Amino acid sequence: MLKILRQKKMIALAIGAVLAVGSFAGCGSEKKEAGADNSKVYRIGVLQLVQHGALDDSNKGFVDGLASKGYKDGANIKIDQQNAQGDQSNLKTISQRFVNNKVDLIYTIATPAAQIAANETKTIPIVGAAITDYKAAKLVQSNEKPGGNVTGTTDYTPPGRQIDLALKLVPHAKAVGALYTSSEENSQIQVKAMKEYAAEKGLTVVEATVTNVNDIQQAVQSLVGKVDFIYCPTDNTIASAMSNIVKIAVPAKLPVFIGDEAPIKTGGATAGISVNFYKLGFQAGEMAADILSGKLKPADMPIGLQKEAKVIINKEAAKAIGLVIPEELRKAVE
Amino acid sequence: MSDLIVSTVAQGLLWSVLAMGVFLTFRTLDIADLSVEGSFPLGAAVAAVLLTGNHNPATAIIAAGIAGMLAGAVTGLLHTKLKIPALMAGILTMIALYSVILRVMGKANVSLLNIDTVYTSLAFLNLSPNMTTFVVGLIIAVLIPVLLYWFFGTEIGMALRATGNNPQMIRAMGVNTDTMLLLGLVISNGLVAVAGAFIAQNNGFADVGMGVGTIVIGLASVIIGEVLFGSKDFKNSLISVVLGSIAYRIVIAVVLYLGMPPNDLKLFTAILVAIALALPLFKAKWDSRKVGV
């Protein structure tokens, strides 16, 4: 009996030690940086859903956007970088920590991160990125006038513009394949809008959804022969597996359109009107700077759109499929 | 700091409902039931859809529980009637539920921001959000173990426990072990779905991706609880599960507090659970060595 008691005590001591180290480390990291002038050091909590190219870009852009307005990490701001690593239960723990630490601003990357933070605090300003529709996620009252403590930038490009671009490159098209992840709210919103626009243009829409990267080959294969081009929304899973998609699409002479720069430039997608997640993050950083300096309040800051969404065409991909690039689009070729 | 402690403990209390569900299958029936990763978001989805349709939180939570029980029944039937191994049956249900959840919600994510939930219904108490979560967590983390304790003291409950411990013996006594397995899975998944309903309301949304990793959270809570707080009888086990769930949340909070590189977080969780699982072995070795001396 005594032995068991002693062991329990040791385990308890060990846990105690871990906790103590934790609180010490915590105190250490909270120490304000000396050396900078004695103006207030703002604390910013960054909450990212998962490690992923576009989200990482949003994160980097944000830090640079803040810096462009004179808020440099380690000098007059202290950025607490946190990543839930795809586990949504961690989002809660992290946002609670931010709220308890009374950070001055929370930057959330991806919809669930913003929703959890918004549920946790109604007062601390929240700036979001990598979110498509703030209103549908109930983060704001309206995208023009948020009305609460949440604002940010959206990765939304009107899907109609992608379809217009596609029709310029594939004028004879009769059917479009929509390829997206069924678990991504953002993708569903875009595909819904795309379907409405495609109907106006007299195009038939064939949907192919995947649950993760492993389903992609089959999904693309299911579109071959049924459609004249593939439309992809700004979708995390699709973007990360673009080279896998084009492996099937290009031999089948199916152009792939996506509203995200990296999959076109490096993934081999054919073309798209692209959102740049770094720039959107940068824009969010500038918005955060305006909030910190007291110039603006989230309630009055409209959701930011990409200032100049540009047309990009991947020359090799277009050539492999045998697309004729119209004169007006020549300068978009990269 | 005290706020952080309250919120961490409150989260532990809420998640303990999931852990109790996992405990029932893992320890009582000796099955690692993976359908949990589907029934958890299923409960969240059902509750979220009902809440956005202006139903009251009690209805939403009960409906979530029933949905989870049905999911458990599917796993149970696959396992007992079609003789599919328990692990596989759980995986099949989990996969199927992904589509079911998307059907239920009609989309991947249903927001519950600014919607009346079980937590806002306690607004009259005038507590901080963390305290409200704590109160709700405390109520369910006491109520559910009490109900379970009562149920597992009844004849059926005893037979269920015996099914996991010694199937031959209990079959010899004329109990249908298949029925017991089915019942256990139904109760377990019902609990897990109820946990999903509470967590979704607490997080402010239901998302089809929220089930990922929940089996690990459940198992870690059960095992950490056993290692730290013992499992000498059923009552003690139930209490251990709740405390284990709190301990798990504390560990995660500390790890995040220390700023562990996010890419290492999953590895750390796995190591933690592996250590917890192996501790009884080390303990036994340690004890036997001491006796030897």
Please state the three-class secondary structure of A245-265 as a single string: HHHHHCCCCCCEEECEHHHHH
In a domain, B221, yes or no: no
Task: Specify whether the CB–CB gap between A260 and A36 falls below 8 A.
Answer: no
More confident residue, B7 or B39: B39
Please tell me the pTM assigned to this model: 0.79
Cross-chain residue pair A89–B266, CB shorter than 8 Å: no
Nearest residue of chain B to residue A47 (CA atoms):
B262
In a domain, B243, yes or no: no
Is B259 in the A-facing interface, judged by CB distances under 8 Å? yes
Cross-chain residue pair A15–B247, CB shorter than 8 Å: yes
**pLDDT tens-digit profile of B121-172?**
998 988 888 899 999 999 999 999 999 999 999 999 999 999 988 888 888 8
Count CA within 13 A, CB hemisphere, residue B242.
Answer: 19
Q: Are strands A175-181 and A126-131 parallel, antiparallel or unpaired?
A: unpaired
- Residue A204 dihedral angles phi and psi, to the nearest 5°: -85, 140
Q: Are strands A310-313 and A271-274 parallel, antiparallel or unpaired?
A: antiparallel
Chain A, residues 109-128, CB within 8 A of chain B, namely 111-112, 115-116, 118-120
- CATH superfamily name and code, A159-274+310-332: Response regulator (3.40.50.2300)
Q: Could you please state the CATH topology (level 3) that the domain comprising A42-156+276-308 is classified under.
A: Rossmann fold (3.40.50)
Question: How many folded domains does chain B comprise?
Answer: 1
The domain of B50 spans 1-211
Q: How far apart are CA B266 and CA B271, in angstroms?
A: 9
Cross-chain residue pair B111–A48, CB shorter than 8 Å: no
State whether residue B128 is helix, strand or coil: coil
Nearest residue of chain B to residue A86 (CA atoms):
B212
CA dihedral sign of residues B239, B245, B248, B252: negative
Torsion from C-alpha of A43, A48, A52, A56, nearest 10 degrees: -20
Provide the pLDDT for residue B166: 86
In a domain, B23, yes or no: yes
Is A211 in the B-facing interface, judged by CB distances under 8 Å? yes
In a domain, B197, yes or no: yes
Chain A, residues 9-38, CB within 8 A of chain B, namely 11-12, 15, 18-19, 21-23, 25-26, 29
Model ipTM over 0.85:
no
Q: Which H/E stretch holds residue A178?
A: strand A175-181
Cross-chain residue pair A188–B265, CB shorter than 8 Å: no
Question: Could you tell me the mean pLDDT of each successive run of 10 residues in chain A, 334 residues long?
Answer: 51 48 41 49 94 88 96 94 85 90 95 94 95 92 95 90 93 95 88 95 93 85 93 88 88 92 87 90 96 95 86 90 87 72
Cross-chain residue pair A115–B257, CB shorter than 8 Å: no
Where, residue-wise, is CATH 3.40.50.2300 in chain A?
Answer: 42-156+276-308, 159-274+310-332
Cross-chain residue pair A96–B7, CB shorter than 8 Å: yes
Task: Specify whether the CB–CB gap between A106 and A127 falls below 8 A.
Answer: yes
